[in-house]
A = this chain, B = another copy of it.
Amino acid sequence: MEVAVRLAVQCGEAMLEAIAAVDSQSGLNLKDGKHGIDPQTATDLANERLVIDTLKLIFPTHAVIGEESCAAAGGKVPMVDPSVPTWIVDPIDGTQNFCTSLPLSVVSIGLCLNGVPALGVIYDPFRDELFVGVAAEGAYLNGVRMRADAKRTALDKAMVLTDVGYERSPKGARRLAACHEALLLANTFGVRIVGSTVLALAWVAAGRASAFYVGLHKKDVPKAWDWCAAKAIGDASGVVFLRAENDIPFDLTSPSVCAAGSEALAKTLRRTLCQATVVLKD
């Protein structure tokens, strides 16, 4: 935990430095042409290099999986023997926000033991907020115990977060918009799009939002590096994780999530989303 916290804060400081250095008129050092709306910055790469190299040095027997190195290898999460302790790292989650200096992005470092997220560290440099969770032990925000919101179990009391990812296809846009409309029609207290799956899940774990969903179509689908730290923290603070599309238990291979502070809200949210999308013609 100590190593992960130190690395997360170091990466967060690098994010702030990069943003302070940038001329707001010119934008960050994007590989624009190559990635279009799915950008990758020099800070992403430098942060991931720092985290991977340090973890491998300190824990030579552990495996380390990072978003950017996997993106370079085609975007697939490599298979790792579950008996090997495995760090799963997203050096900047919410890279689109980071690119425009929108202060909604975080560093995420998780550790899997026996294939299950056991430790999660998420650092939000813009608010100097550190979310730490140890499964079956507890979750903490800047050292203070935190708990998910178990009370707002109905949509008309619930602050619901979501993301749109990189999904821009006609069918995907229709599905995302149908869910947006269904939640407004259900008189949902609040609907917000944060642009960082990890930050949204950290806020649900801290009880600042009631629920979060994502993964309704092909390109708003998070990967293991979006889930690992947030799942360990959420498990320790009372978050219920369901898949958005079916009853298969949520795990790091899940393409979607309906996460909430209560099972009742997670199920109501999932039912609302499923009803909204099932009526759409393919």
Interface residues, chain A, with chain B CB atoms under 8 Å away:
24-27, 36-37, 96-97, 100-104, 126-127, 146-147, 149-152, 156, 159, 164, 167-168, 170, 172-174, 176-178, 180-181, 184-185, 187-195, 203, 206-210
Contacts and interface: CB of A to CB of B under 8 A. Distances in A.
A66 B203 CA distance: 31
A177 B180 CA distance: 6
Given A101-B208, A192-B193, A173 B185 contact: yes
Identify which of A26, A100, A203 gathers the most chain B CB atoms within 10 Å of its CB.
A100
B177 A102 contact: no
Contacts of A146: 24
Contacts of A156: 36-37
A110 B192 CA distance: 26
A206 B102 CA distance: 10
Contact of A100 (B185, B188, B190): B190
A36 B185 CA distance: 15
Given A126-B127, A177-B184, A151 B190 contact: no
Contacts of A203: 102
A80 to B, nearest CB: 32
Contact of A149 (B24, B180, B206): B24
Copies in the complex: 2
A176 B173 CA distance: 13
Contact of A102 (B180, B185, B187, B208): B208
A220 to B, nearest CB: 10
B25 A102 contact: no
Contacts of A188: 168
Contact of A181 (B24, B147, B173, B206): B173
13 contacts: A25-B147, A37-B187, A100-B149, A100-B159, A101-B206, A102-B159, A104-B192, A127-B127, A164-B190, A168-B187, A176-B184, A177-B181, A192-B194
A24 B177 contact: no
Nearest to A22: B207
A274 B10 CA distance: 45
A234 to B, nearest CB: 15
A164 B151 contact: no
Given A24-B149, A96-B190, A190-B195, 17 more contacts: A24-B147, A24-B206, A25-B150, A25-B207, A27-B152, A36-B156, A37-B187, A37-B190, A96-B189, A100-B152, A101-B206, A102-B203, A126-B127, A168-B184, A173-B185, A177-B181, A191-B193
